[in-house]
Every structure is written in structure tokens, then in C-alpha cells.
Amino acid sequence: MTIDRLPDRVTTPRLVLRRWQHADADVLQQIVMANLDHLRPWMPWIKQEPLTIIERARLIEDWTREWEDGGDSFLGVFLDGEPIGSSGCHARVGPGAIEIGYWIDQDHLRSGYATEVTAALTSAAFDNERIGRVQVHTDEANDASAGVPAKLGFRRARVETREPAAPGESGRLIIWTVTRETWTPPAPPRPSEVDQVQGSPNESR
């Protein structure tokens, strides 16, 4: 399925989400390498790591082409201009729908960043009138990941059984869904709360 132009740049109260670019190859390499053990249980693509820096740059070029052709968007999550994770909008869950994926750096967990990312991408997805449904898929063993759609009011629609794709997975995949009609974006934090946590919103490179 092709949806023209999935979100490629979104700002949130604390973060900038933008598509990874060729010039990010070094910083993406560093943050992936720093998080191999953190990500290995849950992210199937970790099996291909470590990539060389040249392979990482080619991967970003592939992502860029894919997005330009109307496919998925792969976005870095930037805090004060530094990457603290990655996210994606994937057009692989049927017509009029996207799936959102995410991971957050091990030194930035439990601060609401994945929730902020997912909320912002869900709202951005619904800005496209052709998208009426957003999904998040979490393995039943991955409580941290399930907390994100649960907190945002996604509905636990069903559980699908599949071969585990990463070592921590049970093979039971929870499909979380929200529709345009049922989506209620979380209230933005009051400015004083944002200041206390991070300072004002920042542009990344």
C-alpha cells in the first residue's frame, strides 16, 4: 500500500521528530551501538547489527527513497538537538491505516518520550485525510511498549500469534488501534512543566 507522504517532521513540547538524513549516519550509528543490549530483546532488525558506517548511511538513503516514493517514514527523536531514539510510520497494516513503531535510548527511559512521540505521530497521521486508523503492535511480553498505546487510549483490538521475531518476544502480538473518531490527543503539558523538564522546544540540526 502506498500513502503519499507519511509524516516527516513533527515537533512536540520537548522533542523534534524528523526523518533521518544522510548527515545523521554517525549519530545514528552511535546511538544504535550504545543500545544494542537494550534493543536486542525486542527489535528484530538488531540481528543485522553491527552495521558499518557505510551500511548505516546506505540504510538512511534507502529510507529516504522509500519515503520519497510515498512509503514509510523513519524519524529520529531529537532532544536538544541530540538523538534519543527512533520512530517510524509504516504503511503495512492495510488500506487507510499506519502502524507506529518506536524505541528510546536506555538513558532516557520512563520520561514519557515514547508516549509523546506516539501521540504526535498519531495526530500527524490523522492530518492526512486518507488515514483513518493508527495501530501499535506490541509483543505480550513487552510491558514497557504496551504501556505507550495503553496510556494514549488505544484499544487493545486483538492478539495475533506469530513466530517470535526477536529473543524477548512471546510470539503473541497485541494489536492496539485508535481511529480518527476515537483519537483524543493528550493535553499538552503546561509551559512550566516543559521548562522544568527540558527547557523550551528545540530545533534539531
Ligand X SMILES: CC(C)(COP(=O)(O)OP(=O)(O)OC[C@H]1O[C@@H](n2cnc3c(N)ncnc32)[C@H](O)[C@@H]1OP(=O)(O)O)[C@@H](O)C(=O)NCCC(=O)NCCS
* Interface positions with ligand X (CB under 6 A): 38-39, 42-43, 102-104, 109-115, 138, 142-145, 147-148, 151
Rounded to a whole number of angstroms, the minimum distance from the CB of residue 119 to ligand X is: 9
Give the residue with the Cβ less far from ligand X, 13 or 112: 112
Give the residue with the Cβ less far from ligand X, 5 or 155: 155
Rounded to a whole number of angstroms, the minimum distance from the CB of residue 68 to ligand X is: 26
Give the residue with the Cβ less far from ligand X, 35 or 204: 35
Rounded to a whole number of angstroms, the minimum distance from the CB of residue 129 to ligand X is: 27
Rounded to a whole number of angstroms, the minimum distance from the CB of residue 168 to ligand X is: 8
For residue 62, give the C-alpha cell: 534507502
Give the residue with the Cβ less far from ligand X, 58 or 108: 108
Give the residue nearest to ligand X (CB): 147
